[in-house]
Amino acid sequence: MTKTATAAVLTATPSAPGLDDVIAAETRLSHVDGQAGELIIAGHRLADLAASSFEEVLALLWRDFLPEPMDAAAIRIALGKARQKTFDLMQPLLPGLRGLSPVEALRLLLSALPDDARAPHAVLAVAAVPVFTAAITRHAKGLAPVPPDASRGHSEDFLRMLRNEQSAPDKVRALDTYLVTVSDHGLNASTFTARVIASTKAGMFSSVVGGLCALKGPLHGGAPGPVLDMLDAIGSERNILPWLEDSLARGERLMGFGHRIYRVRDPRADVLKGAVAALQDGSGRIAFAARVEAEALRLLKEKKPLRPLETNVEFYTALVLEAVGFPRDSFTNVFAAGRMAGWTGHVLEQEQTGRLIRPQSRYIGVMPD
Ligand code: ACO
């Protein structure tokens, strides 16, 4: 085709800002059906995976891509060793975190991991996020980091490094369910970013740091903190209805509701609602949140009849992470701890099967005379 003909074809091709509905990758890792409200991860419905450990889900996501096959038990051992390794790498960098937000601090620490590391990169990346997140949270309070214990499961050790004490089994289970629930979700913005970088053969850590940078934005991984802000602002039973009505009348969005892909209830919301209900924390927080949710759903139906707006993953994420003991400014980092499973899987898949991702742009500027 001549140059002029190519330009004409490109001009005629409809552009898709936001890439809505564009298929930009083929993957065996996960599938999101927004009409049916279904999430399939590595061949399993989320509801069926919810009782699995995070290590079991990692084994599913990585099974076709690791140089040596690893089952969940082998992954648990490898993650323990890799937590220790990343803890040692992190120590000298901690003074440099001053003044950074938790997610900026995580970005800095992850960037320090070399793309040519010898251990399986995916294992190191997944191991690193809890080690760094716990240390960042403690560092902000002037507390020393707690070294990992390689003999423990990943979620159990995450909470132990955060709180410097053993957490109750129901809290460990709730965190594990959370990490499984957010482990992968199709070609979301951060996963796409990681795949674009991986497609240039830049390497694992460059790719997942890019994923984290995309996750950081308030339109992607930044919503669960504001859900708690909303619950705090409502404050009491009798304020639920007036607060929600005022907020909607001002044209504001209710945090934890609506989704770009799901037109029905986000299946992750139900899994996390179950996880938080199992905690029975006795504070009344969860029952209060459920009443806010019911009222919000009723009002959204009434005020926005043409747009199905249902509860999304972030509403119950906020409650799970608060109940297991994370401060709200660390929620995006905990999201990254789970989503690292998917990012690493997609990077490995892209490296193995993909092609350089290089779309076109439509020039709308001035042409030379
Ligand atoms: N509360 C009130 N109204 C809403 C909400 C909401 N949470 N979400 C969408 N709407 C309304 C919009 O105001 C708009 O109404 P209008 O047509 O009368 O102007 C209509 O629904 C369509 O809105 P869009 O912006 O086209 O919806 P989109 O699909 O692009 O938005 C998003 C998805 C960003 C998640 C949105 O629902 C939102 O802002 N929700 C609140 C923030 C939140 O919970 N984010 C976490 C999402 S989950 C995740 O990213 C992991």
What confidence score (pLDDT) does residue 219 get?
81
Residue having the nearest C-alpha atom to atom 36 of ligand 1: 258
β-strand 44-45 against 38-41: which pairing, if any?
A: antiparallel
- The atom of ligand 1 lying closest to the CA of 258 is 37
Give the up-direction half-sphere exposure of residue 338: CA atoms within 13 A in the CB hemisphere. Answer: 20
Task: Answer whether 303 contacts ligand 1 (Cβ < 6 A).
Answer: no
Residue in 139, 154, 185, 259 annotated catalytic = 259
Sorted by sequence, the CB contacts under 8 Å of residue 190 that are 6+ apart come out as: 211, 212, 214, 215, 220, 221, 339, 343
Q: Which residues are CB-contacts of 19 (< 8 A; sequence separation ≥ 6)?
A: none
Comparing CA positions, the residue from 126, 41, 117, 28 lying closest to residue 75 is 126
The pLDDT of residue 280 is: 74
Q: Which pLDDT score is estimated for 177?
A: 97
Give the Å distances, CA to CA, from 83 to 88, 89, 115, 117, 176: 9, 10, 17, 14, 17
Kindly tell me if the per-residue pLDDT of 29 is higher than 90: yes
Average pLDDT over residues 87-106: 96
Residue of 49, 60, 20 lying closest to 268 (CA atoms): 49
Mean pLDDT for the stretch of residues 291-301: 97
Strand ranges across the sheet with 38-41: 30-33, 38-41, 44-45
Number of H helices, E strands in the chain: 16, 3
pLDDT at residue 259 is higher than 90? no
Please give the pLDDT value at position 117.
Answer: 64
**Is pLDDT of 148 > 90?**
yes
pLDDT at 136 > cutoff 70: yes
Residue 47 Cα to ligand 1 midpoint, Å, equals: 25
Tell me the per-residue pLDDT of 212-222, one tens digit each, with 9 for 90 and over.
Answer: 999 998 788 87
Q: Which fold has domain 30-221+329-353?
A: Citrate Synthase; domain 1 (1.10.580)
* 266 Cα nearest atom in ligand 1: 48
- The protein residue whose alpha carbon is closest to atom 42 in ligand 1 is 255
Domains 30-221+329-353 and 224-323 share a fold: no
- Of the listed ranges 39-53, 125-139, 270-284, 285-299, the least confidently predicted one is 270-284
pLDDT at 252: 94
pLDDT value of residue 265: 85
pLDDT band at 12; cut points 50, 70, 90: low
Task: Decide whether any atom of ligand 1 lies within 6 Å of the 318 Cβ.
Answer: no
How confident is the model at residue 20, as a pLDDT? 81
Annotated catalytic residue 154: no
- Quick check: helix, strand or coil at residue 39? strand
Residue with the smallest CA separation from ligand 1 atom 35 is 259
Which residue bears the tokens 């789970």? 338
* Residue 181 near residue 267, CB atoms below 8 Å: no
User: Is the pLDDT confidence value at 14 over 90?
Assistant: no
Q: How far is the CA of 72 from the centre of ligand 1 (A)?
A: 37
Dump pLDDT digits (tens) for 309-352: 999 998 999 999 999 999 999 999 999 999 999 999 999 999 99
pTM of the model: 0.92
CA 171 to CA 231: how far, in whole Å? Answer: 22
- Selecting among 314, 322, 349, 351, the annotated active-site residue is 314
* Total residues found in the chain within this entry: 369
Give the mean model confidence (pLDDT) for residues 105-110: 98
Report which of 282, 270, 280 is spatially closest to residue 316, judged by C-alpha positions.
Answer: 270
Instruction: Please confirm, yes or no, whether 259 is among the known catalytic residues.
Output: yes
Q: What is the pLDDT of residue 260?
A: 81
R_g (Cα) of the chain, nearest Å: 22
293 lines ligand 1 (CB under 6 A): no
What CATH number has the domain spanning 224-323? Answer: 1.10.230.10
Domain ranges of the chain: 30-221+329-353, 224-323
Average pLDDT, the chain: 92
Give the distance (Å) from ligand 1 centre to CA of residue 252. Answer: 10
